Amino acid sequence: MSDIAANLAAITARMARAAQSAGREPDTVSLVAVSKTHSAEAIRPALEAGQRIFGENRVQEAKAKWPELKAAFPNAQLRLIGPLQTNKVREALTLFDVIETLDRPKLARVLAEEMARADRFPQCLIQVNTGREAQKGGVDPALADQMITLCRTEYRLPVTGVMCIPPADEAPEPHFRLLAELAARHNLSVVSMGMSSDFEAAISCGATHVRVGSAIFGSRPPHAP
Ligand SMILES: *Cc1c(COP(=O)(O)O)cnc(C)c1O
């Protein structure tokens, strides 16, 4: 077994235990393998081990790595988990199956226009900046209800859930709970939260998707995004 296959097996086992202790079925939580900064060759063993859902945070980087991987593994699903600029929307729609970082009205408008144009309608998650951090994307939590309604009713976007990245220096649980409550209030089925260091806590708070990078692929270069 490759190191990556062993890591995937270990994470999957921990996810199942966390789900069970929260009284949830293990198959209600999906693993998003975050492959940002890692080369196509480094990602391949994860695909060979059966992992099919991946997250990337940059459109250009995904464009350089994923066409060949998707050709070899056509049922791989790619999720955008980093900020999306409106001038990259068209390209993003050709690469990604899910956009997890819809966080402002202008982006909603451009996504709606370009989806209609491309006749491609990837699921969208509303990113919420639960810690109100200046350097992070995401809609302010006080405006999240309004943003969800705007995206669904005004722009008719396929919004299926919510996503957050809690502050690194705080207990994540209050952020996770806020996000899960927001999803429940709007009848949204997808709650994307939890990373290598806190995915078990996220599962206990209701995550349906955990985004795990370094615990699968190893640590990233120090100044990588
Ligand atoms: C990098 C990243 C992750 C994965 O982080 P790890 O700590 O390596 O598991 C998850 N979510 C987002 C949005 C990221 O940018």
Distant-in-sequence contacts of 168-174, Cβ < 8 A, 24+ apart: 170/131, 172/198, 172/201, 172/202, 173/201, 173/205
More confident residue, 153 or 2: 153
Q: Are 151 and 157 in contact (CB under 8 A)?
A: yes
> How many A from CA of 55 to the centre of ligand 1?
9
Tokens of 45: 């063993």
**Which residues 6+ apart lie within 8 Å of 94 measured at CB?**
118, 120
pLDDT tens for residues 153-184?
999 999 999 999 999 999 999 999 999 999 99
pLDDT tens for residues 3-36?
999 999 999 999 999 999 999 999 999 999 999 9
* Ligand 1 proximal residues by C-beta, below 6 Å: 34, 36, 57, 81-82, 165, 195-197, 211-215
Residue count of the chain, please give it.
225
Q: How confident is the model at residue 220 (pLDDT cuts 50, 70, 90)?
A: confident
Q: What is the pTM of this model?
A: 0.97
Q: For 69-79, what is the mean pLDDT? A: 98
User: For position 165, what pLDDT does the model report?
Assistant: 98
Mean pLDDT of the chain: 97
Q: Which residue's structure tokens are 């709650």?
A: 191
User: For position 154, what pLDDT does the model report?
Assistant: 97
User: For position 217, what pLDDT does the model report?
Assistant: 97
pLDDT tens for residues 102-120?
999 999 999 999 999 999 9
Q: For ligand 1, atom 4, name the residue with the nearest CA.
A: 213
User: For position 183, what pLDDT does the model report?
Assistant: 98
User: For position 66, what pLDDT does the model report?
Assistant: 98
Q: What is the three-state SS of 120-143?
A: CCCEEEEEECCCCCCCCCCECHHH
**Which of 58, 96, 176, 195 maximizes ligand 1 atoms within 8 Å of its Cβ, making it the mutation to test the pocket?**
195
State how far the Cα of 40 lies from the Cα of 44, in Å rounded to an integer: 6
**Which of 4, 14, 32, 34 maximizes ligand 1 atoms within 8 Å of its Cβ, making it the mutation to test the pocket?**
34
Given a cut of 80, whether residue 223 has pLDDT beyond it is: no
